[in-house]
A and B are shown apart, each in its own frame.
Chain A
Amino acid sequence: NAGVTQTPKFRVLKTGQSMTLLCAQDMNHEYMYWYRQDPGMGLRLIHYSVGEGTTAKGEVPDGYNVSRLKKQNFLLGLESAAPSQTSVYFCASTHSGDTGELFFGEGSRLTVL
């Protein structure tokens, strides 16, 4: 089993450029999440999804959009990248939204110049 796979692993963008991060899971999980991790701070939730076709805002959604057209995929888009979006992005999934263990992807390191 691949588990949770994120692409790309690394990306450098210029301010104003757009990009999409792809997250794919093969565990048939309903719940999927996008987090960002910055030095000295806890993981912060950007957006999440409780099932195919549904999305919801997390703690820091501004500047990001998401889509969950298929159960196994959760896409994170940056329409106009800003240097403040330089971060490591983690996708995670779980079978249970409250008590379930989160399974994380390997992370995507994004630098915005």
Chain B
Amino acid sequence: GQNIDQPTEMTATEGAIVQINCTYQTSGFNGLFWYQQHAGEAPTFLSYNVLDGLEEKGRFSSFLSRSKGYSYLLLKELQMKDSASYLCAVTDSNYQLIWGAGTKLIIKP
């Protein structure tokens, strides 16, 4: 079966750095997405990786290793507004998006 694994919840301190991991087992791979979802709101796009390596976008970076079936989202200089759930999703060989259950990130002052 197809599976996306992420930690259920993480806690970090304002100003610090946090890494949210995502491992996947899917039938084929055509790209990996990270979305941010604040409580009670819609998911919003953060990043897309299709090749191995690190993609940096401001305070957020996303890394992909296709051979390991692994990605991480790195958040630097954490702010209180970063408290949200972070969703990992993989496009499989049929171009269907498979979603992880999300990681709830709690930022403490």
Contact = CB atoms under 8 A, between A and B. Distances in A.
B43 A90 contact: yes
B43 A99 contact: no
Interface stretch (B55-63, B65-73, B75-83, B99-107): B99-107
A41 B91 CA distance: 17
Contacts of B101: 40-42
A45 B97 contact: yes
Taking residues whose C-beta sits less than 8 angstroms from the other chain, chain A's interface range is 10 to 19
Contacts of A101: 33, 45, 48
What secondary structure prevails in chain A residues at the interface with B? loop
Given A97-B95, A98-B31, A99-B50, A43 B87 contact: yes
B27 interface: no
Nearest to B8: A40
Interface string B1-42: 000100010000000000000000000001101010000111
B6 to A, nearest CB: 9
A90 B44 CA distance: 12
Interface of B: 4, 8, 30-31, 33, 35, 40-45, 48, 50, 87, 89, 91, 95-102
Interface of A: 40-45, 58, 90, 97-99, 101-107
